[in-house]
Amino acid sequence: MDKDEQVRQIKKLLHRLDSGTNVDAGELFENPTNTYVDPILADQEREVFFKRTPQLVGLSGDLPQINSFLTINDLGTPVLAVRDRDGIFRAFVNSCRHRGVIVEQRDRGEARRFTCQFHRWTYDSEGTLVGLPKQEHFGEVDMNELGLLELPSLEKYGMLWVHPDPTGEINLKELLTQELLDELSLWNLGELEYLGNDVYDIACNWKLAMDTFGETYHFSSLHETTLYNAFHGNVQCYDTFGNNHRMLLCRRDIDDMRQLPESEWDITIATLPVYWLFPNVQLMPSQEGLYLLRAYPDPKEPGQHRSLINFYLRPEISANDEMRQMFTMISHVFAQVIRDEDYAVSASQQVTANSQTLKSVVFGRNEPALHHYHSTYKRVLESAK
């Protein structure tokens, strides 16, 4: 975020704090609860949002060097992402061309070759089939034709994008808008180092998990003894970028800005920026690093989802062992708050949605991100029909 925008947003927040006001959507929004349970909708979502749409699979730091790899198992299509011998980010369907066994089983690591456990067909980091045992018995095949199926991939602004459809295209400007890309580029995401992750399987629809990020109205109640110590509740800034949006959660340290000249104001001291990349990604940059949270629907059960929370650090912090340890601990605690507080209420919302006794719930004027998210969700699904 550029300096002028930082100052503008901090001023807005200070004004809201002083005047006891918050962002205002201008009206209430009624949201049908069947959006969290309907199996037909769930099928459409997986098709439209997770098979036909480019996916953010990580940051450049997830593939720190030549021959780093990463597997992604929550998109329907199994994906193997690699940094090849020329340092180029590439992605493949992680399925052996012999009889379809998943080739690389590990989550991440380093490898020059990928060998399928079934009959040891072996592929290199360009996806080329370089080993086929007992070819004289197997029969004549053109090994050049049997490499791993390549997927469209793009590394830009420190983000790793993959299209799960081999014929798909990745157009970041169309997905995120140029304005948001320009802003994300200022966070130097490409410098961040991967620190670790947490994975949570939770009995709630993936959109209920996303919804918990849509407001700070709940900070003084649900997070009374945790996040509320560090954040003001029910006050935020909110802006949209096409289907996506940005929230600025108000840290209590914003008060320090009052003593400082504007030239020293810093958005990461005053706020926690939360970029909600439609439909299932939250990017939260801070002074020390970044949290990347992604929610994926269960392939069968609409009332179940998986959240992946990745932690990253700025290199100067990562270089210091003590700091690294401290931020590992802080990151896990942060993720546990999401699991034990936010996702606990998400799971109870799911029980209500499952019962279908409440046909709808209501989003307040102070919850504009939820208005925008759910109306965008409906519009995009409708237009994909």
CB of 104: closest distance to ligand FES in angstroms?
A: 11
Contacting residue, 8, 15, 52, 99, with ligand FES by CB under 6 A: 99
Amino acid at 359: K
Tell me whether residue 110 or residue 340 sits nearer to Fe ion (CB atom): 340
Indicate whether 342 belongs to the interface with Fe ion (CB under 5 A): yes
105 vs 89: CA distance, rounded Å:
19
355 vs 367: CA distance, rounded Å:
25
Q: Residue 85 binds which one of Fe ion, ligand FES, none, with CB within 5 to 8 A depending on kind?
A: none
CB of 98: closest distance to ligand FES in angstroms?
A: 3
CB of 122: closest distance to ligand FES in angstroms?
A: 9
Which parts of 251-280 interact with Fe ion (CB under 5 A)? Answer: none
How far from the centroid of its chain's Cα atoms is residue 238's Cα? 19
CB of 227: closest distance to Fe ion in angstroms?
A: 7
Tokens of 190: 């490409």
CB of 102: closest distance to ligand FES in angstroms?
A: 9
Tell me whether residue 105 or residue 118 sits nearer to ligand FES (CB atom): 118
8 A C-beta contact, residue 110 and residue 65: yes
Q: Which residue number has the CB closest to Fe ion?
A: 342
Q: Which helix (H) or strand (E) holds 303?
A: none
Q: Find the part of the chain contacting ligand FES (CB under 6 A) among 91-99, 222-230, 240-248, 278-286.
A: 91-99
248 vs 265: CA distance, rounded Å:
15
- List Cβ neighbours of 232 (8 Å cut-off, separation of 6 or more): 17, 216, 219, 250, 251, 252, 254
Which parts of 105-124 interact with ligand FES (CB under 6 A)? Answer: 116, 118-119, 121
Q: Given strand 153-156, what is the order of strands in its sheet? A: 55-59, 159-162, 153-156
Indicate whether 296 belongs to the interface with ligand FES (CB under 6 A): no
Tell me whether residue 129 or residue 159 sits nearer to ligand FES (CB atom): 129
How big is the CA angle at 215 (ends 197 and 352), to the nearest 5 degrees?
85
CB of 150: closest distance to ligand FES in angstroms?
A: 17
Contacting residue, 7, 25, 101, 111, with ligand FES by CB under 6 A: 101
Query: How many residues in the shown chain lie near ligand FES by CB under 6 A?
Result: 8
How far from the centroid of its chain's Cα atoms is residue 32's Cα? 25
8 A C-beta contact, residue 220 and residue 235: no
Indicate whether 288 belongs to the interface with Fe ion (CB under 5 A): no
CB of 93: closest distance to ligand FES in angstroms?
A: 13
Q: Which helix (H) or strand (E) holds 64?
A: none
Per-residue DSSP letter, 245: E
Closest CA to 197 of 334, 341, 94: 334
Tell me whether residue 159 or residue 274 sits nearer to Fe ion (CB atom): 274
Tell me whether residue 85 or residue 120 sits nearer to ligand FES (CB atom): 120
For tokens 């270089």, what's the residue? 319
How far from the centroid of its chain's Cα atoms is residue 353's Cα? 24
Tell me whether residue 74 or residue 342 sits nearer to Fe ion (CB atom): 342
Binding site for Fe ion (CB under 5 A): 342
Binding site for ligand FES (CB under 6 A): 96, 98-99, 101, 116, 118-119, 121
